[in-house]
Amino acid sequence: MPRLNVEKSMALHKEALKVLPAGVSSNARLWRRVCPIYTPCSLFVEKAVGSHIWDVDGNEYVDYRLGYGPVILGHSYPQVHDAVHSVDERGLVYAFSHELEIKVAKQIISLVPSVQMVRFANSGTEATMHAIRVARAYTGKEKIVKFEGHYHGAHDYLLFSTEPEFTDVQGDVPARASPASLGIPTAIRELVIVQRWNDFPGLEETLRKHGDEIAAIITEPVMGNSSAIMPEKGYLEFLRKVCDEYNIVLIFDEVKTGFRLARGGGSGSLWGQG
Ligand SMILES: Cc1ncc(COP(=O)(O)O)c(C=O)c1O
């Protein structure tokens, strides 16, 4: 395969390093393999149309990333483009309510069987943070079960074992909560129980020991942050059942799967959809 010319991207990344930590606004943009000479590097985009994207060096790519999912209809898809622009002509930020909130909420409720009400958030991080707060308030309990390799955003409460070391996941080594970054208080680790996904007996044992302390189990319905690992047959139903049994709130984080996997998202399968 010919080596890509990414000189302009490399120059921009060098410049970015002066003003942005690691030269990027998200760690996921550090590309270690595309820029073999000057690593790490980040590709700088010139434009994107439909399913294609061009970098500042003129290389054209088929864009399988699509903004990690939300651009599922392609870049600048005419109906989406027109709808966004027709709204922005009437002002973008009001700090007041707007009728569209009701319309969109009703549409989401009609599409996703598990949803009765909607609270909008600005990011996935915020959404999962609020969800676990509600779970704690509802159950009066504090601990949260999360799964190894699942990512739920950048707040301290769930930033554990998102990319565990290989040595941590081999053989019989039990799953453990390892913080994904410096700066996460050890006190928070006490509130997080990391489990191995698809391990039925492992979770059952944890619930027998700690069920009365656990407020929520949070999961991606399909493990999208480690390629795409499917739940074992019956696993999502099993999570639903044990949560009911132990008075635990089950949180499906559908930041990646929502409206993409199926109309009702990953959780829709529990209600016979998707
Ligand atoms: C499953 C999942 N949850 C939460 C998040 C965090 O979303 P955001 O980056 O909007 O905070 C992500 C981001 O990739 C995600 O994949």
Q: Are 95 and 107 in contact (CB under 8 A)?
A: no
Q: Check whether 134 has a pLDDT greater than 90.
A: yes
Express as a percent the part of the chain with pLDDT over 70.
95
User: What is the CB neighbour count within 10 angstroms for residue 13?
Assistant: 24
Helix (H, G, I), strand (E, B) or coil at 99: helix
Distance (Å, rounded) from C-alpha 204 to C-alpha 175? 14
In the reported structure, the alpha carbon of residue 191 is separated from the centroid of ligand 1 by a whole-number distance in angstroms of 21
110-130 pLDDT, tens digit per residue, is 999 889 999 999 999 999 999
Q: Which residues are near ligand 1 (CB < 6 Å)? A: 68, 123-125, 128, 151-153, 220, 225, 253, 255-256
Q: Domains of the chain by range and CATH?
A: 1-92 (3.90.1150.10), 113-271 (3.40.640.10)
Tell me, in angstroms, the distance from the centre of ligand 1 to residue 3's CA: 32
H, E, C per residue of 135-146:
HHHHHCCCEEEE
- Pick the closest to residue 197 from 172, 167, 218 (CA basis): 218
- Integer distance in angstroms from the first to the last C-alpha of the chain? 39
pTM of the predicted model over 0.85 = yes
Determine if residue 74 is left, alpha or beta; phi over 0 gives left, psi from -120 to 50 gives alpha, anything else beta: left
For 25-44, give one letter per residue: b (16+ CB within 10 A) or e.
eeeebebeebbeeeebbbbb
Tokens 């000057």 correspond to what residue? Answer: 38
Enter the DSSP assignment of 98. Answer: -
Please report how the helices 200-210 and 235-245 are oriented relative to each other, as an axis angle in degrees rounded to 10. Answer: 10
pLDDT at 37: 61
pLDDT of residue 272 exceeding 70, the answer is no
Choosing from 120, 256, 259 the residue with most ligand 1 atoms within 8 A of its CB, the one to mutate for a pocket test is 256
Mean pLDDT of 214-231: 91
Q: What is the pLDDT of residue 92?
A: 86
Task: Give the pLDDT of residue 178.
Answer: 92
* Centroid of ligand 1 to alpha carbon of 90 (angstroms): 29
DSSP 135-198: HHHHHS--EEEEETT----SSGGG-BSSS--GGGSSTTPPP---BSSTT--HHHHTTEEEE-TT
Residue 271 scores a pLDDT above 70: no
Determine the Cα–Cα distance for residues 41 and 39; give it in Å rounded to an integer. 5
- The radius of gyration of the chain from alpha carbons, rounded to an integer in Å, stands at 21
Per residue in 36-48, pLDDT (tens digit) is 665 668 999 999 9
Q: What's residue 225's pLDDT?
A: 77
